[in-house]
Amino acid sequence: MTAKLPLRWTAQSASLGRCGGYRHFQLLGEQGKGAERAARLEAVLNRNHRLLVPLRELRDRGLWQPGWQSLRRPAAMQIIPAIDLLDGHCVRLHQGDYDQVTRFSDDPVAQALAWQAQGAERLHLVDLDGARSGQPINDQAVKAITAALSIPVQLGGGVRSAERAEELLACGLDRVILGTVAIEQPQLVAELAGRHPGRVVVGIDAKDGLVATRGWLETSAVRATDLARRFEGSGVAAIVSTDIATDGTLAGPNLEALRAMAEASSIPVIASGGIGCLEHILSLLSIAPLGVEGVIVGRALYDGTVDLAEAIAAVGPERLQDALTSPNGPITV
Ligand code: AMZ
């Protein structure tokens, strides 16, 4: 949906040798609101990676000037909207606390269709009742959403047996996410992943680096990174890595924890928790080369602090990134 960058932004090839094969682009500031946003973006861009993103708003207002452009294709990053279901409604919890519920919509199918229409390529569903009780409580909504959408849908929450996982995979869900089972019966996850390649995801929800289960009401003594390592080579499609302290807070992702998860195994990581604005999503691009291939966004989409279509364009193939810069050193937004 984003137009091609105008030619005048393309550096002359003569300058490529001087800058090691990379072309330099830079974000321009301006007075007022734009300046504030440009400064915030620059804080992200200049940290460990030089990154340029064709944001519609900035491009239309001429806020770009020539800078570094990657000559390589950047790693893909998928933005996955989340619908958390509680008693049939779309809600968000604050830090997973069932007593801190915000109800956003009473029509989960309409909500899912709206995000699909905005360009989502995958939908993340959580059955919060299921996660807490271990019983499938929101199946009616889950099945209605899956039937209505043409994009793949994944579901976590209450998938606690092989039979339940098989049932969900047979009724149109693309992927099942196993949290509690991953820690209590890791063999079951490996068996399912072997039977359904690419369709079994492990959900690792961590509180201070330790894995939480059963709706996050219980915390184990197992380190999240150790659990990730356990599934190396098992055929698991991805790990959804959720930082409980940031989930539902809009405060920004826990980049250090995500980086540790990405480094712990070669399984792709999907970041979950804390996304509050586009800059947070962009900050994840610094660890994309380590295997962070997607990000789940929930509350920020309902609140409107992240525009899904803009975010998808911002991390899409047109983005420009200095792929040579290695993501070492502290990363903060
Ligand atoms: O918000 C919560 N309290 C919560 C939540 N979002 N509790 C669990 N979950 C999600 C996990 C994972 O996707 O992020 O439920 C899934 C794990 O469920 P289970 O039943 O396999 O442990």
Residue 97 CA to ligand 1 center (angstroms) comes to: 11
Architecture of the domain made up of 78-314: Alpha-Beta Barrel (3.20)
Report residue 176's pLDDT band, with 50, 70 and 90 as the boundaries.
very high
Please indicate whether residue 248 or residue 29 has the higher confidence score (pLDDT): 248
Is 90 exceeded by the pLDDT of residue 76? no
Q: Is 159 in the pocket of ligand 1 (CB under 6 A)?
A: yes
93, 125, 205, best to mutate for ligand 1 pocket (most atoms within 8 Å of CB): 205
Q: Is 178 in the pocket of ligand 1 (CB under 6 A)?
A: yes
In angstroms, the CA 182 to CA 213 distance is 9
Domain coordinates of the chain in residue numbers? 8-66, 78-314
Residue 129 CA to ligand 1 center (angstroms) comes to: 9
Q: Is 177 in the pocket of ligand 1 (CB under 6 A)?
A: yes
Q: Is 126 in the pocket of ligand 1 (CB under 6 A)?
A: yes
Nearest-CA residue for atom 3 of ligand 1: 96
pLDDT of residue 327: 35
12-26, 184-198, 291-305: least confidently modelled range: 12-26
Task: Tell me if residue 315 falls in helix, strand or coil.
Answer: coil
DSSP 73: P
pLDDT of residue 283: 81
- Mean pLDDT taken over the chain: 80
Is 90 exceeded by the pLDDT of residue 230? yes
Q: Give residue 51's identity as a one-letter amino acid code.
A: L
pLDDT of residue 61: 54
pLDDT of residue 193: 97
**Structural tokens at position 83:** 């619908």
Report residue 56's pLDDT band, with 50, 70 and 90 as the boundaries.
low
Q: Give residue 241's identity as a one-letter amino acid code.
A: S
On whether the CB atoms of residues 310 and 55 are closer than 8 A, the answer is yes
Counting from 1 in the atom list of ligand 1, the atom nearest the Cα of 158 is 20
**pLDDT 10s digits, 98-113:** 999 999 999 999 999 9
Closest CA to 294 of 81, 69, 46: 81
9-13, 61-65, 181-185, 283-287: least confidently modelled range: 9-13
Backbone dihedral region for residue 299 (phi beyond 0: left; psi -120 to 50: alpha; all else: beta): alpha
Report residue 36's pLDDT band, with 50, 70 and 90 as the boundaries.
low
Report residue 170's pLDDT band, with 50, 70 and 90 as the boundaries.
very high
Range with top average pLDDT, 18-22, 57-61, 261-265: 261-265
Q: Is pTM, for the whole model, over 0.75?
A: yes
Is 70 exceeded by the pLDDT of residue 120? yes
| 133 Cβ contact list (under 8 Å, min separation 6) | 158, 215
On whether the CB atoms of residues 223 and 212 are closer than 8 A, the answer is no
In angstroms, the CA 118 to CA 131 distance is 28
Active-site choice (127, 129, 174, 205):
205
Nearest-CA residue for atom 2 of ligand 1: 96
Report residue 134's pLDDT band, with 50, 70 and 90 as the boundaries.
very high
**Is-catalytic flag, 84?**
yes
Counting from 1 in the atom list of ligand 1, the atom nearest the Cα of 182 is 21
Question: How much is the average pLDDT of 102-125?
Answer: 97
pLDDT of residue 290: 86
Q: Is 137 in the pocket of ligand 1 (CB under 6 A)?
A: no
105 to 37, 109, 136, 152: CA distances (angstroms)? 30, 10, 20, 21
Counting from 1 in the atom list of ligand 1, the atom nearest the Cα of 93 is 1
Residue 218 CA to ligand 1 center (angstroms) comes to: 11
Counting from 1 in the atom list of ligand 1, the atom nearest the Cα of 132 is 7
54-63, 101-110, 159-168, 264-273: least confidently modelled range: 54-63
Question: How much is the average pLDDT of 252-259?
Answer: 92
Is 90 exceeded by the pLDDT of residue 60? no
Q: For the chain, give me the number of helices (H) and strands (E)?
A: 13, 16
On whether the CB atoms of residues 314 and 51 are closer than 8 A, the answer is no
Q: Give residue 164's identity as a one-letter amino acid code.
A: R
pLDDT of residue 306: 94
Residue 56 CA to ligand 1 center (angstroms) comes to: 35
Residue 31 phi, psi dihedral angles, 5° rounding: -70, 155
Is 60 exceeded by the pLDDT of residue 75? yes
Question: How much is the average pLDDT of 281-303?
Answer: 90
Question: How much is the average pLDDT of 3-21?
Answer: 31
Residue 266 CA to ligand 1 center (angstroms) comes to: 23
Residue 130 CA to ligand 1 center (angstroms) comes to: 8
pLDDT of residue 315: 81
